[in-house]
């Protein structure tokens, strides 16, 4: 698992890409990806995810800033560095007349592998992605799941140190998706990976780091635990037991606390949102005391913010609000 002298597999500095002098696809992005990281690349459609991946691959040249992979600058002529990267685009396409054996053999020859090296390698990969029964069949007859597994094998033919997979579970049924996630977990033990995905439950299961893009801006980069822990950390659900009137009275008293943004009751489940700048332990202690005083039993308490999907949606929502405020701030000041 090689990296550059600074210990980073991927490093960007003020990376910017503008198309046709008017569309800012990526704006001033700076981050580093360490060896062994499995980075979930998240963001709404049009956020800049695919542009970022193409810049890391050196398929596009940046408008400003730079990207290094294994300590080398990436650009369209950096073929020697790309040889150390395994890439799967969204909806990968293959020559329909070829079989998996023929295609993987062709890819091996492109990488300059000798016949003695290619043959055992492609046989091992075909077995690893469970395509042995279909190894001689035309790719044109493949299901989406089989095509996805072939794409995985093709991305591994050169034994890369870095894997960049764009929406690897896109279009897969439940069984194929499960197989893909298990394969990612296996590869994550020895590879550095960047996975772009719209499926946040996939990211939650296989990634240990996350980068969130919104309208070309990097709005979060860190561990997945940081993302889940810092966003909506003061959002809780409490399951209650007791007399309905006592529960209702408790909720009304909790609503009156200045540190509580909202307190909603549904089927004896209290959803509690606290202000971001308070000590959650202090406020929860007051809530628990209120329940105790009204003879209401607390059955369970859990933080909603521990879900990656909740954290992601909250983060993007807050960034949208800040962008809206920035847009109208000059007008507000002028008024």
3-class SS of residue 215: coil
Q: What percent of the chain has pLDDT over 90?
A: 61
Burial of 96 (0-12, 13-18, 19+ CB in 10 A): exposed
The CATH number of the structural domain formed by 231-306 is 3.30.70.100
Q: Read off the pLDDT of residues 116-125 as tens digits, 9 standing for 90 and up.
A: 999 999 999 9
Domain ranges for the chain, please list them: 10-228, 231-306
| Cβ pair 241, 234 in contact under 8 A | no
Per-residue pLDDT at 156 exceeds 50: yes
| Cβ pair 294, 243 in contact under 8 A | no
pLDDT score recorded for residue 63: 95
Select from 3.20.20.70, 3.30.365.10, 3.40.50.300, 1.10.580.10 the CATH code of 10-228: 3.40.50.300
Q: Read off the pLDDT of residues 201-221 as tens digits, 9 standing for 90 and up.
A: 888 899 999 999 998 999 899
Give the mean model confidence (pLDDT) for residues 49-66: 95
pLDDT score recorded for residue 233: 61
pTM of the model: 0.73
Element holding 79 (H helix, E strand): helix 79-82
Range with lowest mean pLDDT among 107-116, 129-138, 315-324: 315-324
Q: What is the mean pLDDT of the chain?
A: 87
């Amino acid at each position: 698992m090689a990296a550059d002298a600074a210990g980073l597999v991927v490093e960007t500095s003020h990376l910017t890409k503008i198309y046709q002098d008017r569309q800012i696809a990526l704006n001033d992005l700076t981050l580093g990806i360490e060896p062994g990281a499995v980075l979930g690349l998240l963001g709404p459609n049009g956020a800049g995810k695919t542009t970022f991946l193409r810049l890391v691959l050196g398929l596009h040249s940046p408008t400003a800033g730079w990207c290094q992979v294994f300590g080398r600058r990436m650009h369209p002529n950096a073929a020697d560095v790309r040889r150390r990267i395994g890439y799967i685009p969204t909806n990968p396409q293959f020559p329909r007349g070829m079989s998996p054996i023929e295609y993987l053999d062709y890819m091996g020859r492109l990488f300059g592998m000798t016949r003695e090296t290619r043959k055992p390698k492609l046989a091992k990969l075909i077995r690893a992605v469970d395509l042995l029964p279909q190894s001689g069949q035309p790719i044109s007859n493949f299901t989406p799941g089989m095509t996805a597994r072939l794409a995985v094998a093709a991305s591994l033919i050169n034994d890369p140190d870095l894997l960049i997979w764009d929406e690897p579970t896109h279009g897969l049924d439940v069984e194929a998706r499960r197989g893909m996630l298990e394969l990612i977990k296996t590869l994550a033990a020895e590879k550095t990976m960047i996975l772009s995905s719209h499926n946040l439950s996939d990211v939650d299961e296989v990634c240990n780091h996350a980068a969130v893009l919104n309208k070309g801006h990097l709005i979060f980069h860190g561990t997945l635990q940081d993302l889940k822990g810092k966003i909506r950390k003061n959002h809780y659900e409490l399951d209650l037991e007791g007399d309905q009137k006592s529960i209702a009275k408790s909720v009304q008293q909790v609503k009156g606390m200045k540190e509580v943004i909202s307190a909603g009751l549904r089927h004896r489940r209290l959803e509690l949102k606290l202000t971001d700048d308070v000590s959650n332990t202090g406020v929860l202690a007051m809530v628990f005391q209120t329940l105790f005083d009204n003879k209401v039993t607390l059955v369970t308490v859990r933080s909603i913010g521990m879900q990656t999907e909740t954290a992601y949606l909250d983060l993007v929502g807050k960034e949208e609000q800040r962008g809206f405020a920035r847009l109208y701030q000059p007008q507000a000041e002028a008024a």
